[in-house]
Structure 1
Amino acid sequence: MSVTTVFGGVSNVLVSDGTTSLLVDGFFSRPSFPRLVLGRLRPDVTRIEDALARFDVDHLDAVLVSHSHADHALDAPVVADRTGAELGGSASTRMIATGYGLDRVPFRDLHDRESFAVGAFTVTPLHALHSDGDAVPGEITEPVTLPARMRDFRTGGCSSFLFEHPDGSVLVHPTANFIPGAFAGLHADTVYLGAGAAGAKPTAWIEQYWQETVGALRPSVVRPVHWDAFWRPLTRPLTPLPKKLDRLDVTMRAFTRLADADGVDLRLPALWQRETVSARSVS
């Protein structure tokens, strides 16, 4: 059976082998920018259902939350509840589900390098660092009740996810930062690489970021994620974050040069496009 991936905006990535389907984050409501900054937030069930239909899967087995900011975790408990999936995340993610009244959703506490099996996949959470300028740091220590403000969705734990399967491996690294040596000894055939805010960094930092992620994992395919303006609905074309927040053009120029040198297939992922993961042996 083939392992496939589908990109759903921000850092939403579906990984499936046709029998088991795993979703990272699952943020589809995408409230408007004024509402994000000044208003109160709640999951938009219509937008969630529309997005789930575009993934074209019968069910989800797990929804895995990389960290508990609103643009990653706002919808996750609802997505898990509506698809019968297990919800995985930090203690902060659990507080979101509890505040929503969704304690009925099975929950898995995720810890660094504590692997678990889901179908034919072995899933390994890997401790990660949020990109610089975390606007809402800290832990969520009380249930998040709706409607909530963006500041109620604090970071909590931050993770990347390695999905290993006999037919191919995928790593989803949602946020543009790195821990030196964290991916040493690991491999992924396809890497979804956080790009947001990287364009504000010096070229030397971008090069080190690439080496600590792509250089360590030795994939054949890299797809940047978390580069789009996440307050625009998914019914409209994706556009990069505004230049006052990020410079995707700067990031992609550096990534393209590095990818060419490493022989890596690099491009921005197309929304809802299913891609097959090709496993390769790595010496």
Structure 2
Amino acid sequence: MPNLDRRRFLRDAAASTALVTAGGLASTALAAPARAAGPAGAAAPAAATTRRVGRVSFRWWGTAGWRIDIGDRTVLVDPFLSRIDTGLFAGAFNPSTSLQVRADVVDARVDRAETVLVTHTHWDHFMDVPHIAGRTGARVFGTLTAYHLGLAYGVPSGQLSAVKGGEVLDFGDYTVEVVASLHSRNASYSVAFPGVRVDPPAKPATIADLPEGDTLNYVLRVAGGPSVFFMGASDFAARNLAGIAPDVAMVALNSTNVTADYVPRLMAALDHPKVVVPVHFDNFETELRNPPTVAPSDRKQLDQLIAAVRESSPRSRVLVPAYDTAYHF
């Protein structure tokens, strides 16, 4: 979750799929982004026809949320579709806002899921997850806090898997590596709603009842396909990323500058991914329709992130995603 001192959002046309140009964001449509060349002498990436699992698509659902379809199997990351109004983007944030899952909105997009990966348990990452687990029977992976919150919502323990970081989980057509990570901090160097749940609490009622609960990253590796790194918050432990070297990195926007050298350190730790996809830059309290609404302050931070990627990892391409658009890496 970003820091809380946000200004009023304006509607800002973000390119549905855009590459970085010398002038900032180009509006070049890119239904199936080509993969950038790797380091000199490196082997060319495998062609899509060599994949053993059929077509793989990635759809951004705003915030840090993703739907990944691997053949007829579906993985979700931080699915938050209800996008309730907490006053955060109007400068009148209300931590007592009631948790209200918009089942009609969620169900319209979530027809199936077998795996849900939760980076942390703030409402804009976790709130819809128990409903999705109940609807689809998906197994939910997350911190011990996510496990206990799931129990509080009535999710069966058999659908909840607590992970810490270091696990490499084999699902046949794909693997998931769990990476212990850090949550971003606001301008006061604090984390919103800090804390963990070491046993099941009462069923959460307000957004303040969903604490950060520690933070994880995930690396999804598709058999014969891409390896993709997912962030849910804009900080990380560089030592935990050694050797991951993903093809694609979904990078959370740093809405403050309190984390030193955020982008250069991250690009180096990830061994300069071929494709960098900014996430968590949108107003996640508006409808999920294109173009995403972006606050002036976050537009500035997004431009700075893109510039920092270009400077520190010039062979990486930057793809600014549109909502619900299928990308094939």
> TM class, shorter-chain normalised?
0.7 to 0.9
Q: TM-score, normalised by structure 1?
A: 0.84
How far apart are the structure 1 equivalents of 2:212 and 2:310?
30
How far apart are the structure 2 equivalents of 1:203 and 1:116?
32
**1:280 aligned partner:** none
Please give the secondary structure, in 2, of the residue aligned with 1:193.
Answer: strand
**2:40 aligned partner:** none
How far apart are the structure 1 equivalents of 2:129 and 2:82?
10
Evaluate the alpha carbon distance shift between residue 111 and residue 204 of structure 1 in structure 2; reply closer, same or farther with a 3 A threshold.
closer
Evaluate the alpha carbon distance shift between residue 85 and residue 178 of structure 1 in structure 2; reply closer, same or farther with a 3 A threshold.
same
Kindly indicate whether residue 216 of structure 2 is the aligned counterpart of residue 159 of structure 1. yes
Kindly indicate whether residue 318 of structure 2 is the aligned counterpart of residue 266 of structure 1. yes
Kindly indicate whether residue 123 of structure 2 is the aligned counterpart of residue 70 of structure 1. yes
- Superposed, which structure 2 residues align to 1:1-283 within 5 Å? 1-34=54-87, 37-52=95-110, 59-103=112-156, 106-133=159-186, 134-141=191-198, 142-146=200-204, 148-165=205-222, 166-197=224-255, 200-201=257-258, 204-213=261-270, 216=271, 218-235=272-289, 237-241=291-295, 243=297, 247-259=301-313, 261=314, 263-277=315-329
Evaluate the alpha carbon distance shift between residue 169 and residue 36 of structure 1 in structure 2; reply closer, same or farther with a 3 A threshold.
farther
| Partner deviation per Cα, 1:39-71 (whole Å, 9 max, x = no partner) | 21121111211332xxxxx52110111111111
Please give the secondary structure, in 1, of the residue aligned with 2:276.
Answer: strand
8 Å Cα contact 1:81/1:105 also seen in 2: no
| Partner deviation per Cα, 1:139-165 (whole Å, 9 max, x = no partner) | 02442525x222211111311111112
8 Å Cα contact 2:253/2:280 also seen in 1: yes
How far apart are the structure 1 equivalents of 2:318 and 2:235?
19
Instruction: Specify which structure has the higher proportion of helix.
Output: 1
Letter in 1 for 2:275: V
Q: Structure 2: 5+ residue runs without aligned partners?
A: 1-53, 88-92
Please give the secondary structure, in 2, of the residue aligned with 1:159.
Answer: strand
8 Å Cα contact 1:95/1:144 also seen in 2: no
The percentage of counterpart residues that share the same residue type is 25
How far apart are the structure 2 equivalents of 1:242 and 1:178?
25
How far apart are the structure 1 equivalents of 2:144 and 2:260?
35
Q: Structure 1: 5+ residue runs without aligned partners?
A: 53-57, 278-283
8 Å Cα contact 2:289/2:323 also seen in 1: no
Q: CA deviation at 1:172?
A: 0.7
How far apart are the structure 2 equivalents of 1:212 and 1:222?
13
Q: CA deviation at 1:246?
A: 7.5
- What is the aligned length? 265
Please give the secondary structure, in 2, of the residue aligned with 1:276.
Answer: coil
> Highest CA radius of gyration, 1 or 2?
2
Please give the secondary structure, in 2, of the residue aligned with 1:251.
Answer: helix
How far apart are the structure 1 equivalents of 2:263 and 2:286?
27
Letter in 2 for 1:266: V
Evaluate the alpha carbon distance shift between residue 220 and residue 109 of structure 1 in structure 2; reply closer, same or farther with a 3 A threshold.
same
Letter in 2 for 1:95: H
Evaluate the alpha carbon distance shift between residue 50 and residue 145 of structure 1 in structure 2; reply closer, same or farther with a 3 A threshold.
same
How far apart are the structure 1 equivalents of 2:194 and 2:300?
20
Please give the secondary structure, in 2, of the residue aligned with 1:253.
Answer: helix
How far apart are the structure 2 equivalents of 1:70 and 1:202?
23
Root mean square deviation of aligned Cα: 2.4
| Partner deviation per Cα, 1:2-61 (whole Å, 9 max, x = no partner) | 332111101111223213211111111111133753421121111211332xxxxx5211
Q: CA deviation at 1:107?
A: 1.1
Evaluate the alpha carbon distance shift between residue 220 and residue 245 of structure 1 in structure 2; reply closer, same or farther with a 3 A threshold.
closer
